[in-house]
Amino acid sequence: MFFTVLGAMAEFEADLTRARTREGVAIAKTEGRMTGRKPKLTALQHERILEDYESGKYGAAALMDLYGLSRSAVYAALVRARQHRDSPPPRATTTRS
């Protein structure tokens, strides 16, 4: 019985800790303090990687050395750049007065 009570108290304390953590994360997100890891490449670098790769100027191995990326990161950057290039431009929204 003693261990059952201790287990219940520990579970209750863990629930409180989880709730406080979730609350803190939500507050940090609303204040803009929790943004995650910064991207290694900028949008311009993605475009340049795609241009260099598609023109045949550089291969994947050369791009790895140039940008300090792994092979999978180079190919992921190519996929992202192609998706960005092929996506339709955002529609301009107008407001009527």
* Type and span of the H or E element at 15: helix 2-30
- Residue 97 pLDDT > 70, yes or no? no
What's the pTM value of the predicted model, to 2 decimals? Answer: 0.56
Chain segment 23-73, per-residue pLDDT in tens? 999 999 899 887 788 888 998 999 999 999 999 999 999 999 999 999 999
Output the pLDDT for position 9. Answer: 95
Which bin fits 32, alpha (ψ -120 to 50), beta or left (φ > 0)? Answer: left
Q: Are 78 and 53 in contact (CB under 8 A)?
A: yes
| Boundaries of every domain in the chain | 1-36, 43-86
